[in-house]
Structure 1
C-alpha cells in the first residue's frame, strides 16, 4: 500500500533513537500518522516544525498499519511564527485543534484548503484574527456542528438577529428571544460577515464558537478537554 500527497505537519514526536512519528493533515487522506526514519537527523529535523508544508509519500505492507513516510519539505512557516508570539499561539491553536477534532484517515479537503489559506496568513496581524474565526466556523461545520445564522429560529425573520441558541446553533432575533435572552449566546455582526470585525467583536464571536466546541464537539469526542492552545491564543488576542 502506498500513496503520495501534500500535507501540513501537525505534530512530530521522537520514536526510538533516530526516527520520528509524524502526524499530518492531507487533503486526500485526512489526518494521518506514520514513522519517518531518520527524522531526528540534522538534515531533516529543523524542517519538522508544526505548520510545515510537506510533500509526503506513505507506504505500508497493509492498509491498517501505521506505515512509514518519506518527506520533502515544501515550505516552512516556523520563522514567521517564531517572530511573533501571537502568530505562534495562533499556529499552535490550529494544529492542536486539528489533532483534537479530526478522525484519523478521513478526508476533509475543504477544511484542508481553508487551513492552508489560514496558515499562509501567519504574520498578517490585521487579517489573522478574522481569518481564524472564519476557520473555526468552518471547522465546526465540517465536524457536523455548524451554526445556522440565516434566519431566526423562532420568527423566521432574516433581520435583527442578535443571539444564537446554545442548544441548536440557530440564530435568534431580539423579538424571538423575549424573556429567554439572558440564556442565549451573543451573535455579533462579525459572525454574520458584517461590520468592521474589530478584535473586540471577534473575541465575543469566539465565545460563541467556543461554546459549541466545548459543549457539543468535545462531548462527541468522548468528553476530551479542548486543547489549552486555543485558550492561550484567545488570551494573546485579548491582551493585544
Structure 2
C-alpha cells in the first residue's frame, strides 16, 4: 500500500509513548487510518488537530498492517480550537464523520461537504452564519449512507408545495394541509433546507431536531452513539448564541 492524498484530519489518539494513530478523510480513498511516528511531539501536536487540511502519505507492506503515515500541513484550523463554540462544532462534524464512515470507501461529496462546513465555521463571524451548514452536512451524511430524507414532495399527497413537516418514520416531507391535526407527531421542516438562505434561531433549532432524530435512529446506534452528548452540548450552545 502506498497512498498520497490531501485529507481532512478527523481524529488522533495517543499510541505508545510518542506516537499517534490518526484517521483522515481523503476524497479518493475515503477514511484512512495511519500511525504517525512522533505524533505526540511538540512539533506534530498542532498538525494533528481535527479539521486541519493535510497532505498525507500512507505506506504499508500488507493490507492487514496499520500503515505508517507522514503528514504535511496544507491549511491549519488549529486556532479555532481556542474558540469554544467553533471548537465544539469542529469536534462534532469530524467525530461524526470518523465514527459513521467505513474505512477505505470513497465519499467525494462528503469530503467536499466536510471541507465546506469547516470553511464556513472558520470564515463566519458568528454561529448564526454557520449553524445551517452543520445541519446541511448532517443531511448530506444521512443521504450518502443510504438514509436520505425525501424532501421533494409530500409523502401523503404527492404535491411539492407548502411542505412544512417530515414524518419521523418514513423521512418523507409532509405538506401543511396533510399534517393538519397531526403536527405534534411530526418533525418541523425549516424553510432553509428547501429554499436556502440564512436561517433564524428557530429554524436552526428545527433543523438540528430533524437531523438529530434520524442520526440517532439510523447511524449513531449502540457503540456509535458515543459522540451524541457532544452534539447535544453543541446544539444547546448554538441555540443560546443565536437566540
TM-score (norm 2): 0.91
Counterpart secondary structure, 1:110: helix
**Residue in structure 1 matched with residue 157 of structure 2 by the alignment:** 155
User: What secondary structure sits across from 1:45 in the alignment?
Assistant: coil
Superposed structure 1 runs of 4+ greater than 6 Å apart: none
**Deviation per residue, 1:17-52 (Å, 9 max, x gap):** 221111111111211111011212222222211111
CA spacing shift, 1:224–1:12, aligned 2, 3 Å = closer
- Residue of structure 2 equivalent to 1:32: 32
| Cα distance, 1:52–1:183 mapped onto 2, change above 3 Å | same
Q: Is the 8 A contact 1:21 1:36 kept in 2?
A: yes
Distance 1:14 1:185, change over 3 A: same
Q: How many residues align?
A: 237
Cα distance in 2 between the residues matched to 1:20 and 1:194? 40
Structure 1: tracts of 5 or more residues without a match: none
Let me know the Cα RMSD of the aligned residues.
1.6
Task: Give me the whole-angstrom Cα distance separating, in 2, the residues matched to 1:195 and 1:65.
Answer: 47
Separation (CA, whole Å) in 1 of partners of 2:121 and 2:190: 24
Cα gap change, 1:119/1:24 in structure 2, threshold over 3 Å: closer, same or farther? same
Which residue is equivalent to 1:58? 58
1:48-95 superposed Cα distances (whole Å, 9 cap, x missing partner): 11111111000101123211101111111011331x211111111111
Task: Give the structure 2 partner of residue 122 of structure 1.
Answer: 121
**Aligned partners of 1:9 and 1:23 also within 8 Å:** yes
Q: How high is the TM-score relative to the length of structure 1? A: 0.92
Q: Does 1:15 align with 2:15?
A: yes
Please say if residues 8 and 51 of structure 1, whose CA atoms lie closer than 8 Å, have aligned partners that are also in contact. Answer: yes
In structure 2, stretches of 5+ residues that fail to align are none
